[in-house]
Amino acid sequence: MTRTSTALTAARASTALTAHRASGSARSFRVHGEVAEPLTLTAAELRARWPEHRAEVVFQCAQSGPRRHTFQGPLLREVLTAAEPCFDPRRRKHRSRFLVAVGGGDGHHTVLSWAEIDADFGAAPLLLATRIDGRDLDADGCQLVVPTDHCGARYVSAVTGIWVGACGRDGAPPAAGDA
């Protein structure tokens, strides 16, 4: 994608986000990919279905320096497990092949490995926040919280989709075009 088309895509996404906020409706996100039970969820549904955790974090932003926030929400691993990723849950090697890609409303997206959040591997306490600094994120959309990161880039806000899937043999990327 060229720099101009990236800028245009970001501008359109930002217009869509403004319109969405004005409508006052809850922003949902999809959990999709190589999962047996794809999910569409809102912040209210996260609060109703999973125990809430709290994280007080500081991260560095290249533009604005140190940022401090308090987030509340369920563990990412618990929400993604409900979508039943297509690995054998008893086999650590199978689980270690999976990736998690998180996309935000403005087109910003980032990648994690399943092993980062898996209790038998990195066990990182990532959250899908439904509140930031006591403010509900129902209208803006949920935010990824990565307390183990020093930098803020993976704190994706206004999450619209989370893709879960495996990489192939020889480290091949996942099949393109998965819905």
Ligand X SMILES: Nc1nc2c(c(=O)[nH]1)N[C@H]1C(S)=C(S)[C@@H](COP(=O)(O)O)O[C@H]1N2
Answer yes or no whether residue 10 interacts with ligand X by CB under 6 A: no
What, of ligand X, Mo ion, none, does residue 33 touch, CB below 5 to 8 Å by kind? none
**SS3 readout for the chain:** CCHHHHHHHHHHHHHHHHHHHHHCCCCCEEEEECECCCEEECHHHHHHHCCCEEEEEEEEECCCEEEEEEEEECEHHHHHHHCCECCCCCCHHHHCCEEEEEEECCCCEEEEEHHHHCCCCCCCCCEEECEECCEECCCCCCEEECCCCCECCCCCCCEEEEEEEECCHHHCCCCCCCC
Which residue stretch of 28-36, 117-125, 148-156, 165-173 sits at the interface with ligand X (rule: CB under 6 A)?
148-156
Which residue stretch of 27-35, 80-88, 89-97, 156-164 sits at the interface with ligand X (rule: CB under 6 A)?
156-164
Among 11, 16, 61, 175, binds ligand X (CB under 6 A): 61
Answer yes or no whether residue 155 interacts with ligand X by CB under 6 A: yes
Tell me, by CB under 6 A, how many residues bind ligand X.
12
Which residue stretch of 32-40, 78-86, 102-110, 165-173 sits at the interface with ligand X (rule: CB under 6 A)?
102-110
